[in-house]
Chains A and B, each alone.
Chain A
Amino acid sequence: EVQLVESGGGLVQPGGSLRLSCAASGFTFSSYEMNWVRQAPGKGLEWVSYISSSGSTIYYADSVKGRFTISRDNAKNSLYLQMNSLRAEDTAVYYCARTSLIVVYYFDYWGQGTLVTVSS
């Protein structure tokens, strides 16, 4: 059974940093591209970042480029999101999502999400 479990969320002050993790199981993690998608309270879904299966190709949404860094450790079956210079508008539930092997940017499995709150 495919499982994605996010962790690392919490309350952080504006300008602070946080590192999210996503532990993957039930599939060959190293074969799949991965993403982070976020959802602000009461708002819609927003794609945040993509990383290729090897980690060699990375893309970001304009809203986080230069502040967030996506990475992965295939030996540990883990995906990460380092978030720096956090702003109030980064407050959201952050989901890790697996990209399907059959369709570009089709997110076929999602984690349950971890809440990040940026507030003083």
Chain B
Amino acid sequence: NFMLTQPHSVSESPGKTVTISCTGSSGSIASNYVQWYQQRPGSAPTTVIYEDNQRPSGVPDRFSGSIDSSSNSASLTISGLKTEDEADYYCQSYDSSNHRGVFGGGTKLTVL
């Protein structure tokens, strides 16, 4: 089964740039689109990136997504970090071999 692996946690200072990786277990991560969700404590997830690198309206351009086929990974980059960016971030895609949604384990971003 296809799996997505994320670092458990990352931390960075306000104003800096951080990148969160999401590595596919097999096949090509580029075969299906990757989404990124932000989840603050006690709230439902919200989308920050869909279709690998698209931002929903209302998401600042400080958030960007990319795919690296050579490493079979996706990345979420947040620039100009703000304390409000502190949250859990999940990558998500689709396993077309068995028609199942797949989430990464989540990355806790600390902005300090």
A residues neighboring B (CB under 8 Å): 35, 37, 44-47, 50, 59, 61, 95, 100, 102-108, 110-113
Contact = CB atoms under 8 A, between A and B. Distances in A.
Contact of B33 (A37, A46, A47, A103): A103
A59 B100 CA distance: 7
B101 A105 contact: yes
Given A59-B99, A103-B33, 11 more contacts: A37-B101, A44-B103, A45-B45, A45-B90, A46-B103, A50-B101, A61-B100, A100-B50, A105-B32, A106-B47, A106-B50
Interface string B15-50: 000000000000000001101010100001111001
Contacts of A107: 35, 37, 45, 47, 92, 101
A106 B103 CA distance: 11
A103 B51 contact: yes
Contacts of B73: none
A105 B34 CA distance: 9
Contact residues on B (Cβ < 8 Å of other chain), bracket:
20 to 34
A31 to B, nearest CB: 18
A28 B95 CA distance: 27
A80 B46 CA distance: 22
A105 B101 CA distance: 6
Interface string B65-94: 000000000000000000000001010111
Task: Report the 3 A-B pairs with minimum CB-CB distance, sorted nearest first.
Answer: A47-B101, A105-B94, A44-B106
